[in-house]
Amino acid sequence: MGTKFTARNLITDVAGLRVGHAQDPRLRSGVTVLVGDLPFTAGVHVMGGAPGTRETDLLSPDRVVEQVDALVLSGGSAFGLDAASGVADGLRDMGRGFVVGDVRVPIVPGAILFDLLNGGDKAWRENPYKALGLAALNAASEDFEIGSVGAGTGATTANLRGGLGSASALLPGGVTVGALVAVNALGSATVGERPEFWAAPFERNAEFGGRGVARSYPDPLLAPTKLAQHGNTTIGIVATNAALTQAQCTRLATAAQDGFARALVPSHTLMDGDLIFAASTAARAAPDLAAQVMLGHAAACVMARAVARAVYAARSVAGDTLPAWQDRFG
């Protein structure tokens, strides 16, 4: 039996997870938060050469804290790391967090992308990302938009606007896997100057246009990049309801990095901060070894689809530095 389609085709098809966005059109940037109804086990894997992160060290399998309350994806480069502070404040107000005596400390790892040169107004005096993080947390829901929202608001690729994407799949036995990604890659999600996506072999139900695979391919060593813009990084989350340890979450995040490589050319470069978090709600039984292998494969396929959906769903606004896919090919 093969994979099935899930209700929303969003990461929130993993029950118990919610996603919220907040963005500032003038800033051309934003924040996306994944929060669980309950704390969840998490891991992380970094493949890019220029990451920006908060609290990722505690996700190593040898650390004491194994569960987190939320994960944050943000624009704003290093300034965007402050978004997690707003999320932590909100969670503390909700009574959430790691218990230390009579104090609760929300555990909120985060990652950022660089969108400071995308035409937005960056002349602020007070860092706006803390407030955006709190607003994104307060907006968290099972249903959410994709495209030019949240952490994908100001994202770009080599030749088109980037965006925020998500996808999911239901595996045999009731295991669900979903992906959430902010695509701001050095490389491109589409094949040369054509409308087809590199992720086309993994598409389901024409979720990013149904164009199929490209009829011709350019020299892969001449793939377009935005190296001169110095503004890159694709950051994402893959989640499942299968019960995984922190070490197994780390392996799931590692496997999901193949989704970046299938959907973005080039990917994992020295100038990207490519990073994937993995989350397990543990609502289903722990998978055996064979099931873990297939779960990793499914995570990569779902992540590739989410990348393409992000670019496909992006929309242009006045002053954009690059066109959206819909402008050129829609």
pLDDT of residue 2: 46
Determine contact, residues 250/181, Cβ cutoff 8 Å: no
| DSSP bridge pairs for 147 | 164
What do you get for the CA distance between the two ends of the chain, in Å? Answer: 34
pTM of model > 0.75: yes
pLDDT of residue 218: 86
| Token digits of residue 87 | 């999320």
Q: How far apart are CA 169 and CA 207, in angstroms?
A: 13
Determine contact, residues 256/44, Cβ cutoff 8 Å: no
Low-confidence ranges of the chain (pLDDT < 70): 1-6, 228-230
Determine contact, residues 230/117, Cβ cutoff 8 Å: yes
